[in-house]
Amino acid sequence: MILRRAEEGVFADALLDEARAVFDARDSALLLELVYGVLRNRTLLDSWLNQLSARPLDRTDAWTRNILRLGAYQLLFLDRIPPSAAVNTAVELAKTRGRKQGYINGLLRNLDRKRSELAKPGQDDPVRRLSVLFSHPAWLVRRWVARYGVDAAEKILAKNNEPAPLVIRANRLRTSRERLRSALRAEGVESRETAYAPDGLELGPCGRMRALAAYQEGLFMVQDEAAQLISLMLAPAPGAAVLDACAAPGGKATHIAELMSNRGAVTALENDPVRIGKISENSSRLGTTIVAPVPGDARAYQGGPFDHLLIDAPCTGLGVLRRHPDGRWSRNEEHIRERAAVQRAILAHCAGLLQPGGSLVYATCTTEPEENEEIIDAFLEGQGANFRIDDPRPYLPEKASEFVDTRGFLRTHRNNNGMDGFFGARLLKKG
């Protein structure tokens, strides 16, 4: 079961991709709803189940625990599934997994009968209240309450529990946003233009996206609107030499190639031998022939010099928890410190590969200062003395300027804009 393996730390996305391949569009959508629904509400579901259970959920086996969560989510959040069907399905699962069908049957039926009596946490402890209601780990809620205040933290937590939109980037080498929108409409897929990224479209229901002719013809790449802004910040020149230091699956590398009119060279560096194949796959489909996937560790790679450098640094991903809800359960504060050490090493090494006068963009999809501005500050105070922060607004669409703070850092995670939470800093190497 996907939920059980996700609890062990396996990425739910990969498990879902494998499982959904054998389902039709309707069953595939239901599977996605069930898995993400449980992951987004896990603490709240556990709280309610524990109120009626003779034993705490964390003292039962993983199979039973996740079958109960699945049944409880259907009972309390999905009105289109009859309660009897939700309970019976859970009992049938328990017959082969966990083998506690009597316990599961009794607890779920009791939950259905007493749903109006379920208590929510009180106001006396805001961290616990928000942690339970929005199902985020207490350590993360505590951080956000301290940094943003209770009300702002609550808004971020609520946003993380909303389904993420499906956003694509028109491949400007082969089409325009307007022509792509027409082509999708001809295939029965409606869309709307993104408000900030000039090549972006937010799609409505589209069934199997990879079956679309527009996808197979390489007319678009799936990429959130915030991620599209990062490549624009780099402002790569046609004919230039560019390094994308942490490139898989190739979304930004191919975008950079498109911005360069497919003229020049984009070295797409990736340390993961499994993921590097995704760069080749996406580049081939999109026709970005100047993208060259290269295996290597960005902390030690020898190459260049380069005119432009993108470091989309490996991070905790705390800005994309609505898109990857399992991430909230597989991260802790030690992961922040571990990622920050890797980020510092990548920036320190790769900065030496940049030509004088060249531009460098450091970006993450996380919210934490240890992985964002503190990385930039430490670099500039140390070996980055020959770099300076450059205002990215001249390279961004005018409307996106609202995400740039007084120091020149781009942040999207605190705005009610529908985008993923990204951080970006543009640096120039002094000539």
- Positions marked catalytic: 365
- Percent helix, percent strand, percent coil in the chain, to nearest 5: 50, 15, 35
| CB-based contact 353:267 (threshold 8 Å) | no
Q: Read off φ and ψ for residue 2, nearest 5 degrees.
A: -65, -40
| CB-based contact 223:197 (threshold 8 Å) | no
Residues 6+ apart with CB under 8 A from 115: 75, 76
Q: How far is CA 139 from the centre of its chain?
A: 20
Provide the sign of the torsion angle of the four alpha carbons 68, 73, 75, 81, taken in this order: negative
* CA dist., res. 86 & res. 73, Å (int): 9
Element (H, E) at 152: helix 150-160
Q: How many Å is the Cα radius of gyration of the chain?
A: 23
In sequence order, what E strands does 223-353 have? 241-244, 265-270, 291-295, 306-312
* CA dist., res. 245 & res. 373, Å (int): 19
267 token code pair: 């070295």
| CB-based contact 242:236 (threshold 8 Å) | yes
* CA dist., res. 424 & res. 346, Å (int): 15
CA-based nearest residue to 313, from 266, 277, 273, 365: 365
* CA dist., res. 42 & res. 58, Å (int): 12
- CA trace torsion 386, 388, 394, 397 (10° rounding): 110
Q: How far is CA 395 from the centre of its chain?
A: 24
* CA dist., res. 413 & res. 428, Å (int): 25
